[in-house]
Amino acid sequence: GHDRVWAAGPLLPPAEDSGLVAQRGGPSSIPAEEVLTWLDGETGCSVVYVCFGSRTSLNAEESAVLGAALERSKVHFIWCVREANGAEGVMPDSKYQDRVAGRGFIIKGWAPQLAILRHPAVAAFLTHCGWNSVLESVSSGVMMLAWPTGADQYA
């Protein structure tokens, strides 16, 4: 390294400041308390968080396959469904939320990601491996399931 360069980071809000943690990245499309209350009802290290960031979106086929896999796995999960432009994402079908009710929490739009990742019920993070997602996951001690899409890396 260079003797005049000091690396600092990651610069994330402290866990004690729940307001900053919940709002990191922008306002959530649902109250942070709603998803955190749902997580409070789950056992430790039992939930998979699925989110592909703000610039990556799944097409209808990818969304259907991922949705079917989550449904068949019987794993408890939070799935943040977004389109690249920030609009609501593509759900596998109109009855999907009913079929996964109780073990699947769907967020349509922006999620309080850092607050989710810091919750003790979260065991793994299915991610596109964007810079912020990687920093937040590593700093929270959450294992990543990597699905690189080309935004921050070569696909």
Written as tens digits, the pLDDT of the chain (155 aa) is: 567 877 777 777 676 665 655 565 666 678 889 999 999 999 999 999 999 987 788 888 888 999 999 999 999 999 998 765 545 557 778 899 999 999 999 998 889 999 999 999 999 999 999 888 999 999 999 999 999 887 556 55
Q: Identify whether 46 is part of a domain.
A: yes
Q: Give the chain's length.
A: 155
Look at residue 19 in the predicted model and tell me its pLDDT.
60
Look at residue 6 in the predicted model and tell me its pLDDT.
77
Look at residue 146 in the predicted model and tell me its pLDDT.
94
**Can you tell me the distance from the alpha carbon of 153 to that of 144, in angstroms, rounded to the nearest whole number?**
15
Look at residue 150 in the predicted model and tell me its pLDDT.
72
Which CATH number fits the domain that encloses residue 27? 3.40.50.2000
Q: Identify whether 7 is part of a domain.
A: no
Look at residue 59 in the predicted model and tell me its pLDDT.
83
Pick from 80, 78, 81, 126: nearest CA to 105:
78
How many other CB atoms are there within 10 angstroms of residue 76's CB atom?
22
**In Å, how far from its chain's centre is CA 21?**
14
Look at residue 108 in the predicted model and tell me its pLDDT.
85
Look at residue 85 in the predicted model and tell me its pLDDT.
53
Q: Identify whether 13 is part of a domain.
A: no
Query: Can you give the pTM of this predicted structure?
Result: 0.84
Looking at the 3D structure of the chain, how many domains does it have?
1
- 98: domain range? 18-146
Indicate the DSSP class of residue 125. E
